[in-house]
Structure 1
Amino acid sequence: MHILFVCSGNVCRSVIAERLTRAYACESGWADLTAESAGTRALVGYPVEPRAAAVIAGLGADASDFRARRVTATMVEGADLVLTMSEEQRDRVAGLTAGAAAKSFTLTEAHRIATVTGAETIARLDACRDPSGAARTPNIPDPIGLSEQAFVETGDLIAAALFPLLDVLAAAAVAAGQRQA
């Protein structure tokens, strides 16, 4: 499974999620789990914001060798799942290419659907989506320009939504024989 994470500048939130996912793949032995990130208004070529890099390291992942990129239709097409940090980013990504809406969610939306309904595949996540929008989930706040504590809180929010979601998807992949337990 290939996951694309999207935020605004691609120097903080989406790279935190990307690097935590890569660490999760290594620690769990899920060799087919890959991740990348991009931004809707990316600071192309910039490294990880230093306070975001500290959060990544503090959560046990590696922030090195990263450069920000702008999200493209090709990236979206190549992803099995697209997780954004806000509804606006989700809607923007969903409009980049045909079929993108069915695999594009905010991180907190996918987490809520998976934990509340038990949806364990991308198709089930989409099928269990609330089309009315009544079950709104909070966006992951952008800490750029804020305190070190704001970066830590953002990292904690990402980890709290991401790891349970990955656990559900990993269990489904094991059950489907797509990876070793």
Structure 2
Amino acid sequence: MHVLFLCKGNVCRSAMAERLAVAIAAEHGLTGLTAESAGTRALVGFPIEPVAAEVLRGLGADPSGFAARRLRPETVDRADLVLAMTEQLRDEVVQLVPGSGRRTFTLLEARRTVWLTKARTVDDLHAHRDRVAIHDESISDPVGLGAGAFERVGEQIAEALLVLIPALCEAGGPGPVDA
């Protein structure tokens, strides 16, 4: 399963999610997961924000070698699952790449859907979306808010991924996806 994480600048939330997803998959022996991240207004080529990198190391993930990337339609096309940090960003992806709505969620929306419905495929996530939907399933941008905000965001992302990644990857992959 190839997962795309999305935020605005791609130096904090989505970068943290990418690296945490890879670390969680490795910890659980889930070899079929690949991940990347991008930003709608990416600081192209920039490394992970230094405080975010410190939080990542504390959570057991490796921030080294990261370079921010800008979101492109082909990035969405190659993803089995797209996980945005906010509802607004999720909706931007769906507008940018028509037909991607069935596999595009906020990270918290996908986590809650797996938790409540035992969804095990991307199709399951989509099928249960309306049944468990709530408003404001966003992860706030911690930039400019201090180390404590970065720690809370890192923990929020890690907690969501600890539920989501094993559930979807242990089931054998993303399931059929309509592009």
Q: TM-score, with normalisation over the residues of structure 1?
A: 0.91
CA distance in 2, matches of 1:166, 1:80: 13
What SS does structure 1 have at the residue aligned with 2:54?
helix
Which 4+ residue blocks in structure 1 deviate beyond 4 angstroms? none
What is the identity, as a one-letter code, of the residue corresponding to 1:160?
E
CA distance in 1, matches of 2:28, 2:156: 21
2:124 alignment partner in structure 1? 124
After TM superposition, the structure 1 = structure 2 runs for residues 42-81 of structure 1, keeping only pairs within 5 Å, are 42-81=42-81
1:154 alignment partner in structure 2? 153
Aligned-residue offset at 1:137: 4.6
What is the identity, as a one-letter code, of the residue corresponding to 2:170?
A
Matched, 1:30 2:33: no
Q: TM-score, with normalisation over the residues of structure 2?
A: 0.92
Unaligned runs of 5+ in 2: none
CA distance in 1, matches of 2:137, 2:163: 17
What is the identity, as a one-letter code, of the residue corresponding to 1:8?
K
Q: CA RMSD in A?
A: 1.6
What SS does structure 1 have at the residue aligned with 2:172?
helix
Query: How many residues are matched?
Result: 174
Indicate conservation of the 8 Å contact 1:76/1:96, yes or no: no
What is the identity, as a one-letter code, of the residue corresponding to 1:22?
V
Aligned-residue offset at 1:170: 2.5
What SS does structure 2 have at the residue aligned with 1:173?
coil
Give % identity.
52
What is the identity, as a one-letter code, of the residue corresponding to 2:77?
E
Unaligned runs of 5+ in 1: 177-181
What SS does structure 2 have at the residue aligned with 1:36?
strand
1:83 alignment partner in structure 2? 83
Change (3 A) 1:134 1:126: closer
CA distance in 2, matches of 1:134, 1:124: 14
